[in-house]
Amino acid sequence: MIAAQLLGLTALAFLAPLPAERYQPPEPPRGVGWAVFAVAALLLVVTVVPLSLALADKWAMDAHAAECRASGGRFAASPSATGRGGYRCDRPDR
């Protein structure tokens, strides 16, 4: 070690170029967490609410159809003047 110091070899290490610094991406700006959460919540509401309404309508219609069939009727589609179809219970006694 003393011989290396005497020959000046330890100074060569300081002449080498510095290693390249690793890229550090900038920190995201503060205060955007609530915006990300708001967008995620809105997307969740937009997708879940129509699905739950459709399922509630199906379950109500299934219950009505089961009640109609239990009374001996037939659950049938009925056209309407507004263009929206509905359903009715056709019982043989009526």
- What pLDDT does 31 receive? 81
Report residue 3: phi and psi, to 5°.
-65, -40
Closest CA to 75 of 94, 57, 90: 90
Q: Is residue 81 part of a domain?
A: yes
pLDDT tens readout for residues 11-65: 666 777 777 888 998 887 788 888 889 999 999 999 999 999 999 988 988 998 9
Q: Please say if the pLDDT value at position 2 is more than 80.
A: no
Helix (H) or strand (E) holding 89: strand 86-90
| Number of domains comprising the chain | 1
Domain ranges, residue 87 = 44-94
Q: Is residue 94 part of a domain?
A: yes
Q: Is residue 87 part of a domain?
A: yes
Contact at 8 Å (CB) between 68 and 62?
no
What is residue 2's three-state secondary structure?
helix
Q: Is residue 67 part of a domain?
A: yes
